């Protein structure tokens, strides 16, 4: 009996330690999530304005005016996978990689952003063109080099389509994996949604949207600057969304882990007390029996 | 009198939003003054100074690279940096200039991406300094 109580005590202790760790991780994730959400939301005004600029530019440009706008027959495509570096964030990466698995491995080359995605791609023997490591709070310049790499592949004709697989941040409890085509820049109407504007936008559409603009310098030069910038910014927003999703998913996962641990401790404590009580009862019984036998 | 609605937006925040009487922007083709009822125009800007006129008051902002759309009643500036001159930290900007210049001295060690980034950072810090010093000497 004594061995049994010691076992249970040991288990309670270890579960307690685990719950402390998950609790700490939950707190850290919550703080990071707030920050990541703020950044993701702050970029929305910029994204909307950029989308509007783009629409106006595209309205003034003729069809196929720029190589980033023209769709080609898709022989080979590139998929940029934005995943997390660390695990312990629930089903986030599993869901994301299910989306990745939909692409035909023979026709697709992959670019990995984040270690989990990279591991998956390596394990399933996909063609990996490059992998990038991003800091936890990535700056625009970092994501720009990722986007530039993908864009270079597109402009050099190596691939005919670029898709980004990322996790869209809907709210703290919901994150949906999404595959979004960023190149060629197909329908400009879609671009309003680039940042995942789930709330009603603060900038109402104005009549100015249909105005014909004069360009300075020429329209070609403005297009040349605005289109790549649009692609960079889109990737930036997607990375931010993925980060916000990661932290909220981790927070939720760690919260349920902490709750489970608490429940387990409760159950184990009850079990421990029962065993202890049983041991005491047996002992008393033995003493009483012995006394009666003597007496 | 007609006014212009000026909005200056960066990826981090809406840096400025107000009805103004006129604005001067640092276009790639040179400085450009915009008054209400301007024809619809789309242009790019260099790192430099935006001068906002509202009544008798003037406001000065250092801005980075970006795009500007103008129509009859509004000016929208899309840029990666926008700081009002009072908020510019001169010593920080100076330090940034120094860092960037040192980095440029080792240009051959950097990749093309990096050196381009440094160049942009340098131009932005210089723009901040320029705006700050000019105001102080007035």
Q: Residue A138 belongs to a domain with what CATH number?
A: 3.40.1380.10
Q: Are residues A47 and A160 in the same domain?
A: yes
User: What is the number of CB-based contacts under 8 A between chain A and chain B?
Assistant: 75
Binary contact (B67, A140; C-beta < 8 A): no
Q: Are residues A174 and A225 in the same domain?
A: yes
- Say which of A46, A60, A212 has its CB closest to residue B78: A46
Q: Are residues A242 and A264 in the same domain?
A: no
Binary contact (B11, A46; C-beta < 8 A): yes
Q: Are residues A128 and A88 in the same domain?
A: yes
Q: Are residues A276 and A148 in the same domain?
A: no
Binary contact (B42, A50; C-beta < 8 A): no
Hey, what are B75's tokens?
Answer: 């000016």
User: Residue A200: its pLDDT value, please?
Assistant: 37
Which residue of A lies nearest to B10 if distances are taken between CA atoms? Answer: A46
User: For this structure, is A89 an active site residue?
Assistant: yes
User: Residue A65: its pLDDT value, please?
Assistant: 66
Q: Which residues of chain A does B9 touch, with a Cβ-Cβ cutoff of 8 Å?
A: 45-46, 49
Q: What is the dihedral of CA B98, B103, B107, B110, to 10 degrees?
A: -160
Q: Which residue, among B5, B8, B9, B68, would best test binding to A if mutated, counting the most A CBs under 10 Å from its CB?
A: B9
Which residue of B lies nearest to A140 if distances are taken between CA atoms? Answer: B11
How many Cα neighbours within 13 Å face the side chain of B117? 15
User: Residue A3: its pLDDT value, please?
Assistant: 64
d(C-alpha B47, C-alpha B65), whole Å: 5
Q: Are residues A158 and A23 in the same domain?
A: no
Average pLDDT over residues B46-53: 89
Average pLDDT over residues B19-23: 91
pLDDT digit string, tens, across residues A130-175: 888 888 878 777 888 889 889 889 988 889 999 999 998 888 888 8
Q: Give B53 to chain A, closest Cα distance, Å.
A: 23
Comparing A44-53, A275-284, B28-37, B56-65, the range with the smallest average pLDDT is A44-53
Q: Are residues A125 and A82 in the same domain?
A: yes
Domain B4-85 in CATH 3.40.50.720? The answer is no
Instruction: With a cut of 70, list the residues of chain A below it in pLDDT.
Output: 1-3, 60-65, 186-211
Q: Who wins on pLDDT, B104 or A269?
A: A269
- Residue A22's domain comprises 2-27+259-294
Which residue of B lies nearest to A47 if distances are taken between CA atoms? Answer: B11
Instruction: Determine the angle formed by the axes of helices A2-42 and A219-294, rounding to 10 degrees.
Output: 160
**In terms of DSSP H, where are the helices of chain B?**
90-105, 112-137
Average pLDDT over residues B31-49: 89
Nearest to A48 by CA among A175, A162, A197, A171: A197
Q: ipTM value of the model?
A: 0.71
User: Residue A63: its pLDDT value, please?
Assistant: 60
Q: Are residues A164 and A222 in the same domain?
A: yes
Q: Are residues A41 and A114 in the same domain?
A: yes
Domain count for chain A: 2
User: Residue A207: its pLDDT value, please?
Assistant: 44
Task: Indicate the average pLDDT of chain B.
Answer: 83
Q: Give A243 to chain B, closest Cα distance, Å.
A: 16
User: Residue A252: its pLDDT value, please?
Assistant: 93
Q: Are residues A178 and A93 in the same domain?
A: yes
- Say which of B69, B74, B113 has its CB closest to residue A53: B69
User: Residue A216: its pLDDT value, please?
Assistant: 77
Which among A8, A89, A182, A253 is annotated as catalytic?
A: A89
**Cα-atom radius of gyration of chain B, to the nearest Å?**
16
Q: Are residues A59 and A192 in the same domain?
A: yes
């Amino acid at each position: 009996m004594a061995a049994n109580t010691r076992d249970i005590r040991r288990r309670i202790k270890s579960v307690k330690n685990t719950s402390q760790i998950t609790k700490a991780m939950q707190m850290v994730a919550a703080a990071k999530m707030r920050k990541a959400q703020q950044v993701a939301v702050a970029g929305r005004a910029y994204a909307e304005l950029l989308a509007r600029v783009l629409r106006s530019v595209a309205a003034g440009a003729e069809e196929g005016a720029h190589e980033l706008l023209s769709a080609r027959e898709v022989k080979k495509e590139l998929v940029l996978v934005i995943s997390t570096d660390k695990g312990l964030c629930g089903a986030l990466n599993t869901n994301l990689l299910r989306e990745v698995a939909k692409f035909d491995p023979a026709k697709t080359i992959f670019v990995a952003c984040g270690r989990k995605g990279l591991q998956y791609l390596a394990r399933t023997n996909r063609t990996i063109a490059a992998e990038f490591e991003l800091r936890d709070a990535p700056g625009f310049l970092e994501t720009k080099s990722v986007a530039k790499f993908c864009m270079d592949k597109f402009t050099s004709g190596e691939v005919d389509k670029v898709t980004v697989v990322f996790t869209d941040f809907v709210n703290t409890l919901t994150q949906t994996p999404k595959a979004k085509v960023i190149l060629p820049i197909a329908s400009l109407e879609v671009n309003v949604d680039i940042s995942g504007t789930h709330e009603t936008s603060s900038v109402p559409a104005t009549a100015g949207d249909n105005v014909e603009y004069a360009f300075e310098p020429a329209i070609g030069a403005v297009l040349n600057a605005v289109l790549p910038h649009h692609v960079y910014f889109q990737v930036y927003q997607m990375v931010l969304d993925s980060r916000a999703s990661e932290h909220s998913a981790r927070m939720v996962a760690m919260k349920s882990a902490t709750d489970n641990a608490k429940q387990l401790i409760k159950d184990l404590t009850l079990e421990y007390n029962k065993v202890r009580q049983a041991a005491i009862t047996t002992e008393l019984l033995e003493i009483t029996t012995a006394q009666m036998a003597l007496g | 009198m007609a006014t212009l609605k000026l909005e200056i937006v960066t990826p981090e925040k809406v840096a400025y939003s107000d009805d103004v009487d006129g604005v001067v922007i640092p276009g790639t083709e040179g400085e450009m003054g915009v008054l209400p009822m301007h024809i619809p125009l789309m242009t790019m800007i260099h790192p430099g100074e935006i001068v906002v006129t509202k009544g008798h008051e003037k406001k000065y902002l250092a801005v980075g690279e970006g795009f500007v759309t103008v129509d009859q009643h509004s000016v929208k500036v899309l840029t990666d940096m926008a700081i009002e001159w009072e908020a510019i930290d001169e010593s920080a900007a100076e330090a940034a200039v120094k860092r960037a210049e040192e980095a440029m001295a080792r240009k051959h060690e950097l990749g093309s991406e990096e050196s381009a980034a440094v160049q942009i950072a340098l131009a932005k810090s210089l723009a901040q300094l320029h705006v700050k010093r000019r105001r102080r000497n007035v």
